[in-house]
Amino acid sequence: MKQWGLYCSRCSARLPFRYQDMKCECGGTLLVEYDLELVARTLTKESLKQRYSSMWRYRELLPVEDSASIVSLGEGWTPLLRMPKWENKLSLKRLWIKREEQNPTGSFKSRGFSVAVSLLKEAGVTKAAVPSNGNAAGALAAYAGRAGIQAFVFIPMDCPSLIVDECPLYGATTILVDGFIHDAAAIIEAGRDEQGWVNVGTLKEPGRVEGKKTMGLELAEQLGWTFPDVIIYPTGGGSGIIGMWKAFMELKSMGFIQGDMPRFVCVQEEGCQPIVDGVHPVSTATSDDSGDDLPLLDGKIIPNPTGMRVPNPPDLPLLLSIVQQSGGTAIAVSKKQIADAILSLGADGISSSPEGAATWAAMLVLSDTGWLRASDSVVLFNTSHAMKYAKLGTSAAIPIIRTYDDYMIYRSL
Ligand SMILES: *Cc1c(COP(=O)(O)O)cnc(C)c1O
């Protein structure tokens, strides 16, 4: 019998813990409920100072019973980097980037799958499947490999090819789907019973939200147990938003931190913007989403921000209520804005995925329009790095030489 249960985020019903099927009868999403008084006996600000640099430092707030079940590749406790040049330029009080690209699978999906796969291991599950725009597939593949669980990943065809190609290296059965992420999900649901797959898709099981919750716990701890004013997050299925919001609620009820929650800003891609449309029902955003890559002037190609490409988030009402209650907003950015942002971040030494760069693009717009104030401290999430999105064979614009003379000839062209 687990020492924690589940509660419904919509109707507050209480249920016993289970490791799959997180939908309440009322349609709401089920989340893990802890006995926070019990947790606070051992998880203290003081005890945290002695703990290791991993998201498992918050062990009491993660729903894995036996430490032997923990499947870890060294995830979490990522750097929170100040951006002083830009604080001046944009007149913001503080600006940080949470460097989630430094997780073991190159994206913050590591966090969710470390917990999800630990729960599967604890339950004795042998086969897990996920519909994924790429990074979730890579993370399931890696953690399942580590745990000795068979992974089956179903990925829409527009996913960057390096991300796809990495999955079989971890031993996962890897399938491309001619469709969207919900089409991939439908395939898994259709085969679930026959194949014996446990579906670890977004909000299908409790571990991924709990794992992503550690981003919020970490952020608060790294900021000396204070909240930033604004969090700007590239949102797809939204488990990160739900997780961080849950983290902040738990920290508040344990007395770790007081004050207002940060304003959550969800960033999406123009043309695939259900949260933006929900927050601003009369949105007039124009779309340049042709589904194709956007060629840049110098011959490089900025690929699609597929991590944010979720037309039907599994619990849109919950996301909208978090954004609205926090005083936040949602904003869509174009591929051109994302491409420019990748270069701005690159010029500051940061390799950013299109999704991570989208938060930068959104910040520029929110600063321009005055939504961000000079008193605001702002955190952006760089959820993955540029390398995973690189395309082989796009280096045609980069010269190849043998000697210094060649170099001078090239420079004179
Ligand atoms: C999955 C993903 C997102 C979206 O995160 P959610 O918490 O599912 O909304 C953003 N960026 C990248 C790189 C991702 O892989």
**CATH number of residue 272's parent domain:** 3.40.50.1100
Q: Ligand 1 center to residue 144 CA distance, Å?
A: 19
What's the pLDDT at 313?
A: 95
Which residue, 242, 248, 255, 253, is CA-closest to 229? 248
What's the pLDDT at 413?
A: 82
**Residue 309 in contact with ligand 1 by CB distance below 6 A:** no
CA dihedral (206, 5, 250, 64) positive or negative? negative
**Residue 105 in contact with ligand 1 by CB distance below 6 A:** no
Per the structure, the complete domain to which residue 223 belongs is given by: 80-103+211-389
**Residue 383 in contact with ligand 1 by CB distance below 6 A:** yes
**Residue 307 in contact with ligand 1 by CB distance below 6 A:** yes
What's the pLDDT at 399?
A: 84
Beta bridge partners of 154: 131, 175
User: Which of the residues in the chain have pLDDT under 50?
Assistant: 289-291, 297, 299
Structure tokens at 412: 């004179």
Question: Would 139 be classed as within a structural domain?
Answer: no
Q: Ligand 1 center to residue 182 CA distance, Å?
A: 15
Instruction: Map tokens 């990748």 to a residue.
Output: 342
What's the pLDDT at 395?
A: 59
Instruction: Map tokens 């079989």 to a residue.
Output: 168
Residue minimizing CA distance to atom 1 of ligand 1: 307
36: left (phi over 0), alpha (psi -120 to 50) or beta: alpha
**Residue 337 in contact with ligand 1 by CB distance below 6 A:** no
Question: Would 220 be classed as within a structural domain?
Answer: yes
Question: Would 57 be classed as within a structural domain?
Answer: no
Phi, psi for residue 15 in degrees, rounded to 5: -135, 160
What's the pLDDT at 187?
A: 96
Question: Would 203 be classed as within a structural domain?
Answer: no
Q: Please, are residues 128 and 117 in contact by the beta-carbon 8 Å criterion?
A: yes
Q: Ligand 1 center to residue 134 CA distance, Å?
A: 10
Q: Please, are residues 176 and 153 in contact by the beta-carbon 8 Å criterion?
A: no
Q: Please, are residues 218 and 54 in contact by the beta-carbon 8 Å criterion?
A: no
Mutate to test the pocket of ligand 1, among 107, 155, 205, 351 (most ligand atoms within 8 A of CB): 107
Alpha helix segments (H runs only) across 91-206? 109-123, 135-147, 161-169, 181-195
Question: Would 17 be classed as within a structural domain?
Answer: no
What's the pLDDT at 389?
A: 87
Phi, psi for residue 265 in degrees, rounded to 5: -115, 120
Question: Would 229 be classed as within a structural domain?
Answer: yes
Which regions of 239-364 does DSSP assign to beta strands (E)?
263-269, 294-295, 301-302, 329-333
Question: Would 190 be classed as within a structural domain?
Answer: no
Which residue, 187, 322, 242, 251, is CA-closest to 29? 242
**Residue 111 in contact with ligand 1 by CB distance below 6 A:** no
What's the pLDDT at 297?
A: 40
**Residue 384 in contact with ligand 1 by CB distance below 6 A:** yes
What's the pLDDT at 124?
A: 97
**Residue 240 in contact with ligand 1 by CB distance below 6 A:** yes
Mutate to test the pocket of ligand 1, among 268, 320, 383, 389 (most ligand atoms within 8 A of CB): 383
Structure tokens at 238: 């939204």
Instruction: Supply the DSSP symbol for 384.
Output: B
- Count of structural domains within the chain: 1
**Residue 138 in contact with ligand 1 by CB distance below 6 A:** no
Which residue, 103, 141, 114, is CA-closest to 353? 103
What's the pLDDT at 375?
A: 96
Which residue, 117, 196, 176, is CA-closest to 149? 117
**Residue 237 in contact with ligand 1 by CB distance below 6 A:** yes
Question: Would 287 be classed as within a structural domain?
Answer: yes
Q: Ligand 1 center to residue 76 CA distance, Å?
A: 15
